[in-house]
């Protein structure tokens, strides 16, 4: 890993550089990720000022480690979200139903038409790829409301026997 380690002499204490590398390795980041992570975290740590009066008894190394871990988790979550979007986009390149399922497409459209206006909006947003959590802000309601609507939609599709589409 030392081959990939940037030098921060005079910019950042060596123990902080070593800590970044150790925490990144522990969290499963590869050697090729460390220089970029190091650069981002060096800027964050340069601005950070340890204040023992506000540290609630924590040592500087503990506070710095928590700061590093928080940023690394943020990077990991961001990468996971991006990967999920890429996978979703690649999965959506196929049509909703195969060409020989044109009647199923019509059945699904008719099933959606029988839903309430709000459930129709939720169903269409889900079909467009919105997550339940994204829908809460889009529809200005809680997660429980979205989940109830999803159950109603699924029940309606089952009643009309187009629920086979839900598994696709």
Per-residue pLDDT tens over the stretch 80-116: 887 776 666 555 444 444 545 667 777 788 888 999 9
Cβ neighbour number for residue 160 with a 10 Å cutoff? 13
- Give the pLDDT of residue 30: 86
DSSP of 99-119: GGGHHHHHHHHHHHHTS-HHH
pLDDT digits (tens, 9 = 90+) for 11-34: 788 999 999 999 999 999 888 888
Please check the confidence at residue 124 and state whether its pLDDT lies above 80.
Answer: yes
Q: Which residue has the tokens 């990077």?
A: 75
What is the mean predicted confidence (pLDDT) over 53-69? 90
What is the mean predicted confidence (pLDDT) over 30-55? 87
Cβ neighbors of 25 (< 8 A, separation 6 or more) are: 1, 34
pTM as predicted: 0.51
Contact 38, 21 (CB under 8 A): yes
Please check the confidence at residue 3 and state whether its pLDDT lies above 80.
Answer: no
Cβ neighbour number for residue 151 with a 10 Å cutoff? 10
Contact 39, 68 (CB under 8 A): no
- Give the pLDDT of residue 73: 93
Enter the CATH code of domain 99-167. Answer: 1.10.10
**Dist. CA 84–CA 78, nearest whole Å:** 10
Cβ neighbors of 164 (< 8 A, separation 6 or more) are: 104
Q: For the chain, what are the domain ranges?
A: 2-91, 99-167
Please check the confidence at residue 68 and state whether its pLDDT lies above 90.
Answer: yes
pLDDT band for position 1 (cuts 50, 70, 90)? very low
- Give the pLDDT of residue 150: 92
Q: What percent of the chain has pLDDT over 70?
A: 80
Q: Tell me the Ramachandran region of residue 103: left when phi exceeds 0, alpha when psi lies from -120 to 50, beta otherwise.
A: alpha
**Rounded to 5°, angle at Cα 25 from 22 and 29:** 140
């Amino acid at each position: 890993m030392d081959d990939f380690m940037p030098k921060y002499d005079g910019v950042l204490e060596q123990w902080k550089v070593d800590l970044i590398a150790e925490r990144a390795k522990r969290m499963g980041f590869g050697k090729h990720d460390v220089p970029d992570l190091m650069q981002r975290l060096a800027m964050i740590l340069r601005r950070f000022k340890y204040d023992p009066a506000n540290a609630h008894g924590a040592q500087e190394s503990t506070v710095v480690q928590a700061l590093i871990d928080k940023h690394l988790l943020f990077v990991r979550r961001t990468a996971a979200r991006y990967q999920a979007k890429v996978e979703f986009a690649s999965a959506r390149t196929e049509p909703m139903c195969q060409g020989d399922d044109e009647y199923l497409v019509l059945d699904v459209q008719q099933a959606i038409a029988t839903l309430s206006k709000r459930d129709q909006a939720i169903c269409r947003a889900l079909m467009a790829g919105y997550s339940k959590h994204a829908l809460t802000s889009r529809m200005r309601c809680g997660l429980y409301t979205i989940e109830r609507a999803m159950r109603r939609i699924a029940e309606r599709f089952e009643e009309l026997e187009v629920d086979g589409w839900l598994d696709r």
